[in-house]
Amino acid sequence: MAIQMRNKRDTQFSMASMSDLVFLLLIFFMLTSTLVAPNAIKLLLPSSKSKTMSTQTLTVYINKERNIYVNEQKVDPVNLENAIFSQISNEQEASVVLRSDKTATVQDIVVVIDAVNDINNKHNTKHKVILATKPNR
């Protein structure tokens, strides 16, 4: 006498729970990404119509008190070249993004540009400085 099972086993996998999980993860990452502050140092950037985008290797900040920061660490202008070179020494063509407050003097901006140019001359590299701006509205 053959015993038969009342319920048949279903061998197919339901993807409904997987799509719910992916949707919840998407919402989670969208919410948490808006909480991250892209600029830790508060600056009023100058405005511009140009939309040049570049991959940044290093960020240098100049705030309205004329303090210079390399990747959010305060640096004395005398040690600026060494601080920048320690961050980009392993690259041949790095992009240094200069985020300067719009009230910062031109001389402070030139100090950063000169430091990168001195690194290029001493080590035969092709690093460039890009001045960050906010969109002109």
What backbone torsions phi and psi does residue 6 show, to the nearest 5 degrees?
-75, -45
Tell me how far apart the alpha carbons of residues 110 and 104 are, in angstroms, rounded to a whole number.
11
Q: Select from 3.30.420.270, 3.40.50.200, 3.40.1080.10, 1.10.1740.10 the CATH code of 47-135.
A: 3.30.420.270
Boundaries of every domain in the chain: 47-135
Q: Is 0.85 topped by the overall pTM?
A: no
Percent of the chain with pLDDT over 70: 80
* 39 close to 71: Cβ distance less than 8 angstroms: no
Report DSSP state, residue 78: G
pLDDT surpasses 80 at 105? yes
β-pair type (95-100, 58-62):
parallel
Residues whose CB is less than 8 angstroms from the CB of residue 78 and which lie 6 or more positions away in sequence, other chains included? none
Query: Which tens digit of pLDDT belongs to each residue from 15-60?
Result: 778 888 899 999 988 888 766 655 556 656 666 666 656 566 788 9
Tell me how far apart the alpha carbons of residues 119 and 19 are, in angstroms, rounded to a whole number.
51
